[in-house]
């Protein structure tokens, strides 16, 4: 699939992708968006209108913590990282995604 043909995120996958993007360490919003695009080989591009409400919701849930700092281009940016609860949530969401993807694969093969 070319970069021009980006897919819409499936309901419920945005949290999983954000949590996975942050599993290697803290990132600011643009960094998270870039990492998701990189991890999905360009299939998913997370727009700010989806990303920032999700980050706020996930921080409220206790899955992320944040701090203000400077980005690589010396601009003020909010950096996010996984909390212990966020790491547990990543595990739970990955398990659920594995279960769903097996079920979809079974349905497609029948």
pLDDT in tens, 2-23: 444 555 666 679 999 999 999 9
CA dist., res. 28 & res. 76, Å (int): 10
Domains of the chain: 13-109 (1.10.10.10)
Transcribe 19-83 into DSSP letters.
HHHGGGS-EEHHHHHHHHHHHTTTS----HHHHHHHHHHHHHTTSEEEEEEE-TTS-EEEEEEE-
Q: Residue 57: how many CB atoms within 10 A of its CB?
A: 13
Per-residue pLDDT of 32-61, as tens digits, reads 999 999 999 999 889 999 999 999 999 999
29: its two tokens: 């919003």
Confidence of residue 88 (pLDDT cuts 50, 70, 90): very high
Cα 57 to Cα 37: distance, rounded to the nearest angstrom: 21
* Average pLDDT of the chain to the nearest whole number: 91
Q: Say what percent of the chain tops pLDDT 70.
A: 90
């Amino acid at each position: 699939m070319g970069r021009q043909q980006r897919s819409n995120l499936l309901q419920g996958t945005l949290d999983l992708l954000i949590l996975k993007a942050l599993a290697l360490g803290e990132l600011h919003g643009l960094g998270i968006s870039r990492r998701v695009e990189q991890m999905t080989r360009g299939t998913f591009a997370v727009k700010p209108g989806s990303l920032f409400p999700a980050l706020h919701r996930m921080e409220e849930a206790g899955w992320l913590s944040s701090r203000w700092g400077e980005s690589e281009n010396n601009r003020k940016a909010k950096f996010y990282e996984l909390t212990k609860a966020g790491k547990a949530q990543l595990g739970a969401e990955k398990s659920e995604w594995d279960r769903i993807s097996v079920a979809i694969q079974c349905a497609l093969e029948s």
